[in-house]
């Protein structure tokens, strides 16, 4: 039997963040895809294998879980360079979109052929890799409350999902058959809590938070979840999900920059970079000149921050004994300064952000890794315990 490899994958609306194996490999892939032809034209084809596969990810995906089966895609950085690229739309459900699965399978396929870790841990025969994974992933609280996690999990289990690398450096012609030995789908709010209070062995590292009632506001691309944690669990009745993330505002910024400055940004990822980078923040290049777009970004992001703050205020009013709210997710990194200013001028709630933006962005993937690792530990111990019990009974 092929050994199962751990995969902890956060298919975020902005990007896929994934941890593999014993944390020897991690991947970050912008969540952008574009339908493409099988033989995409490449300038300097003889130099293809010198390029980074992550920047030239071109695949065909075959899976019974997909609505559009056997389609060819550019994925990630390569997709952002096309005119027909797609990102997840506001109002869509992550669990019901082909794009979510395409991104998940692409990340697993890259890991399975050894990208990032140096060598594949799976059996390969005639350029076909047989990959087995034990997957930890998650969905927004709203979708879990609606029971969509059950259908999402069943789509993945019990089928073979194939990724074929087409015009991709180093891996052209390789096929990967992906099978799941187990799939655990966690609610994103609870995952954030796990990451706050526990280390990779699920030992308590933040005792101060264990018995507190806390809020976790996870601002993503398409949605916002506010989890209410009490007695070390998510209160399902109090937890709320909203169909509002940062994606719509990022699109609005893209449109206004195009209208005012005639500059077309490739994707939302470019807008996020303009807003969050350390040098020349809120600036773009227009005809070779550095140009300030602060008037556009400030106005649009402040409006979004006000809506997010109203969510916080309303949930806190209904959970008045909450002691602190942690803001997590990529959207929190974008809105941090605006939310802090609003809070200082208005209610003065006890709120906390992660100064390390990378930690906030990777929080879900890290939490899934902790949870799926713990699941594996518990399930590999059980046979030994049963054996002891059997011996004792004799």
Please, which residues have CB within 8 angstroms of residue 165's CB and are 6 or more apart in sequence? 58, 59, 109, 113, 171, 172, 173, 174, 175, 176
Q: How far apart are CA 366 and CA 192, in angstroms?
A: 9
Query: What pLDDT score was predicted for residue 222?
Result: 81
pLDDT in tens, 185-232: 998 877 778 878 888 777 888 777 777 899 999 888 888 889 898 877
pLDDT in tens, 276-291: 888 888 999 999 999 9
CATH number belonging to the domain at 5-186+364-382, selected among 3.40.710.10, 3.40.50.720, 3.30.420.40, 3.90.1580.10: 3.30.420.40
Please, which residues have CB within 8 angstroms of residue 144's CB and are 6 or more apart in sequence? 185, 187
Question: What average pLDDT does the segment 91-105 reach?
Answer: 91
pLDDT at 383 over 50: no
Helix pair angle (330-345, 294-318), 10° resolution: 80
Of residues 36 and 306, the one with the higher pLDDT is 306
Reported confidence tier of residue 240, pLDDT bands at 50, 70, 90: confident
Which pair of structure tokens corresponds to residue 318?
């209904």
Helix, strand, coil % over all residues of the chain, rounded to 5 = 40, 25, 35
- Domains of the chain, by residue range, sit at 5-186+364-382, 211-361
CATH number for the domain running over 211-361: 3.30.420.40
Highest mean pLDDT among 217-221, 296-300, 330-334: 296-300
**DSSP letters along 189-234, please?**
HHHHHHHHHB-TT--BS-HHHHTS-EEEEEE-SS-EEEEEEETTEE
pLDDT in tens, 133-165: 999 999 988 888 889 999 999 999 989 999 999
Tell me whether domains 5-186+364-382 and 211-361 share a fold.
yes
SS3 label, residue 84: coil
pLDDT at 390 over 50: no
pLDDT in tens, 57-94: 999 999 999 999 999 999 999 998 887 888 777 667 88
């Amino acid at each position: 039997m092929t050994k199962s490899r751990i995969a902890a994958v956060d298919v975020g609306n902005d990007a896929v963040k994934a941890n593999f194996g014993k944390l020897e490999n991690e991947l970050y892939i912008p969540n952008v895809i574009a339908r493409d032809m099988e033989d995409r034209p490449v300038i300097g084809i003889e130099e293809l294998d010198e390029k980074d596969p992550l920047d030239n990810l071109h695949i065909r995906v075959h899976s019974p879980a997909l609505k559009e089966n056997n389609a060819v895609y550019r994925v990630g950085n390569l997709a952002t360079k096309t005119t027909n690229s797609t990102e997840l739309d506001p109002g869509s459900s992550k669990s019901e979109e082909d794009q979510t699965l395409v991104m998940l399978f692409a990340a697993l396929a890259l890991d399975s052929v050894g990208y990032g870790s140096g060598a594949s841990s799976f059996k390969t025969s005639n350029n076909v890799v047989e990959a087995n994974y034990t997957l930890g992933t998650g969905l927004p609280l709203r979708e879990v409350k609606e029971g969509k996690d059950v259908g999402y999990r069943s789509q993945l289990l019990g089928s073979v999902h194939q990724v074929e690398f087409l015009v991709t450096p180093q891996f052209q012609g390789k096929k990967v058959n992906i099978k799941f030995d187990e799939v655990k789908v966690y609610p994103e709010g609870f995952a954030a809590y796990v990451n706050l209070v526990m280390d990779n062995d699920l030992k308590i590292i933040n005792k101060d938070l264990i018995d507190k009632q806390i809020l976790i506001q996870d601002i993503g691309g398409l949605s916002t979840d506010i989890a209410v944690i009490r007695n070390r669990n998510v209160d399902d009745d109090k937890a709320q999900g909203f169909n509002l993330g940062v994606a719509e505002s990022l699109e609005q910024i893209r449109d206004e920059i195009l209208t005012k400055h005639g500059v077309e940004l490739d994707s939302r990822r470019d807008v996020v970079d303009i807003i969050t980078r350390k040098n020349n923040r809120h600036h773009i290049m227009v005809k070779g000149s550095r140009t300030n777009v602060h008037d556009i970004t400030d106005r649009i992001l402040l409006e979004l921050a006000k809506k997010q703050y109203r969510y916080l205020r309303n949930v806190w009013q209904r959970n008045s004994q909450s002691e602190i709210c942690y803001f997590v997710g990529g959207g929190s990194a974008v809105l941090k300064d605006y939310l802090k200013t609003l809070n200082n001028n208005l209610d003065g709630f006890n709120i906390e952000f992660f100064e390390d933006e990378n930690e906030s962005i990777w929080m879900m993937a890290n939490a899934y890794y902790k949870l799926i690792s713990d699941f594996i530990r518990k399930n590999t111990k059980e046979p030994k315990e049963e054996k002891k019990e059997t011996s004792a009974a004799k």
